[in-house]
Chains A and B, each alone.
Chain A
Amino acid sequence: EIVLTQSPGTLSLSPGEGATLSCRASQSVSSSYLTWYQQKPGQAPRLLIYGASSRATGIPDRFSGSGSGTDFTLTISRLEPEDFAVYYCQQFGSSLQYTFGQGTKLEIK
């Protein structure tokens, strides 16, 4: 089983600042199948980034994804008030299994 470890657990920043969220895999993951979601309280997760770096439809360009192998990053260039939420990475592996990271909570400082 591939384990995804996200860091930090909580990130406290102010609007206008940049955010860097990390997702580390216990073994190499195909970039094609590394995905990031945003979840706000009481809502379903929302697709942000797929294929490690492709933005989903309607996602602002302040969101970007990068990485390969075991290290992936979600970057938010200039935080807007609506960006404060929990972010999850997820991978789909050769064993046809999905795993999620434990999430990073992005909170207003």
Chain B
Amino acid sequence: QVQLQESGPGLVKPSETLSLTCTVSGGSVSSGSYYWSWIRQPPGKGLEWIGYISYIGTTNYNPSLPSLKSRVTISLDTSRNQFSLKLSSVTAADTAVYYCARAIGSSWHFGFWGRGTLVTVSS
């Protein structure tokens, strides 16, 4: 059974960079046809897809969030079986629960999710 676990600081200061890591167990991040996403949920609001990285390292970010797309980097660390999110120049609007999740390229639904981690942007 695949398990995903987010980790990183719970508090980030405005204008700084938010950095989160998702550690995958029970499966390899470099296995064929898997796509590893970051999704966030502001307090009391809905789900917002940030982007994904494929098992071979290609990335795709949400173009409907232009203010986010220019600040996001998702990367893969196959040696540690992890993938990461970096979001630069954060503001209070980036306060959210951040989830990592896995999809299979043939069906594209998120079958496995991490528990989520709350990141608060505040000075």
Q: Which A residues have a C-beta under 8 Å from some C-beta of B?
A: 1, 32-33, 35, 37, 43-47, 50-51, 56, 88, 90, 92, 96-103
Contacts and interface: CB of A to CB of B under 8 A. Distances in A.
Given A44-B99, A44-B115, A44-B116, A100 B110 contact: no
Between A32, A37, A51, A98, the greatest number of chain B beta carbons within 10 A of the residue's beta carbon is seen for A98
A35 B63 contact: no
B60 interface: yes
B71 interface: no
B47 A92 contact: no
Chain A contact residues: over half helix, strand or loop, or mixed?
mixed
A18 to B, nearest CB: 24
Contacts, number: 59
Contacts of A35: 108-110
Interface size class of B (residues with CB under 8 A): 20 to 34
Contact of B62 (A51, A90, A92, A97): A97
B109 A96 contact: no
A44 B113 CA distance: 7
B64 interface: yes
Interface in B43-90: 46-49, 60, 62-64
16 contacts: A1-B64, A32-B107, A43-B115, A44-B116, A45-B47, A45-B99, A45-B110, A47-B110, A47-B111, A50-B107, A88-B46, A90-B47, A90-B110, A98-B49, A103-B46, A103-B47
A98 B107 contact: no
Contact of B109 (A44, A90, A97, A103): A90
Nearest to A48: B109
A105 B59 CA distance: 32
B107 A51 contact: yes
B109 A99 contact: no
A104 to B, nearest CB: 10
